[in-house]
Copies of this chain bind each other. A is one copy, B any other.
Amino acid sequence: METLEKPVLDKKKAVKPLKKIMIIQSKATIDSVYAALILANGARMEGIESELFCTFFGLEMLQPKKMDHLHVATVGNPGLHIPTMLGGLPGIESLASNMMKKEMDKLDIPPLSEFLEIYKASGGKVFACKLAMEMFHLNREDLWEGVDEVLTVGDFYGRAQEEGVQLLFV
Residues of A that sit less than 8 Å from B by CB: 16-18, 21, 24, 26-29, 31, 35, 38-39, 42-43, 45-46, 48, 55-57, 60, 70-80, 83-85, 87-90, 92-93, 100, 103-104, 107, 109, 131, 134-136, 152-154, 156-158, 160-163, 165-170
Q: How far apart sit A39 and B56, CA to CA, in the bound complex (Å)?
A: 12
A78 contacts which of B71, B156, B160 (Cβ < 8 Å)?
Answer: B71
Q: List 25 A-B contacts (CB under 8 A).
A: A16-B161, A17-B162, A18-B161, A18-B165, A28-B77, A28-B78, A28-B79, A29-B78, A29-B79, A39-B169, A42-B154, A45-B154, A46-B154, A57-B77, A72-B78, A74-B76, A84-B87, A84-B89, A85-B90, A88-B88, A103-B136, A107-B135, A168-B168, A168-B169, A169-B169
Chain B nearest Cβ from A102, distance in angstroms: 10
Q: How far apart sit A13 and B74, CA to CA, in the bound complex (Å)?
A: 50
Chain B nearest Cβ from A107, distance in angstroms: 5
Q: How far apart sit A127 and B52, CA to CA, in the bound complex (Å)?
A: 25
A73 close to B83 (CB less than 8 A) = no
A57 close to B83 (CB less than 8 A) = no
